Amino acid sequence: MTRQIIETHGLDKRRVYVAGLSAGAAMATTLAMTYPDLFAAVGVHSGLPQGVAQSLPDALGAMQGGTGPLSGSKAKGTGWASEVPAIIFHGDRDTTVHSSNADRVAAQYSTSRQAGPTVEKGKVANGHAYTRTTHHNSKGEPHLEQWRIHGEGHAWSGGSTQGSYTDPKGPDASKEMLRFFFSHRLASRQL
């Protein structure tokens, strides 16, 4: 379907990105892991890692952060790993999808990151504090960004009050994902 949209509208196939929230984030990571030749980067907001749930009980357990092959923040065991650059957002007060899942998602995208991440702490004016951890690849380029939003629940960070499942007090996830996406093109990895 994505390839058809690219062809129909004459889009730049080097700049195709996928992002989502919650179940949409789980689907975004599934697409990025399954089609790394199609997506230049992925945005995962409050979602699950690939391969942790084969049933509804598995999914519910993974959402609460306690069961499945990645419990205890171990990345081994799912067989899934990706070189696709990823930006991950998660609120540390999320009671729908436990925030430990952000570390589990990051572990699946950490295959080419180098030691010594950059950690930045900040706060939105009249809003939530956050911690952004950036990992770079062997070329020194940002490959993985993980944003932990302090005090945020299960909501799109920085979203409008007009929308559902949004939190305007967080950093603007849409803006930050676009910034991250625009710094990655598929041509730099493959075509």
Which pLDDT value is given to residue 83?
A: 87
CA distance 119 to 74: 21
User: Strand pairing partners for 91?
Assistant: 149
Which pLDDT value is given to residue 56?
A: 80
Backbone angles phi, psi at 136, to 5 degrees: -110, 155
Summarize the chain as % helix, strand, coil (round to 5): 30, 25, 50
- Across the chain, mean pLDDT equals 87
Token pair for residue 77? 């065991």
C-alpha radius of gyration, the chain, whole number: 16
What is the arithmetic mean of pLDDT over 139-162?
92
What is the arithmetic mean of pLDDT over 49-69?
75
Give this prediction's pTM: 0.88
How many residues does this entry show for the chain?
191
CA distance 191 to 189: 7
What is the arithmetic mean of pLDDT over 102-123?
84
Q: What is the distance of C-alpha 19 from the center of its chain?
A: 7
Which pLDDT value is given to residue 65?
A: 76
pLDDT at 31 over 60: yes
| 110, 135 Cβ separation under 8 angstroms | yes
Which pLDDT value is given to residue 122?
A: 97
Q: What is the distance of C-alpha 35 from the center of its chain?
A: 16
Which pLDDT value is given to residue 75?
A: 43
Which pLDDT value is given to residue 119?
A: 95
Which pLDDT value is given to residue 134?
A: 94
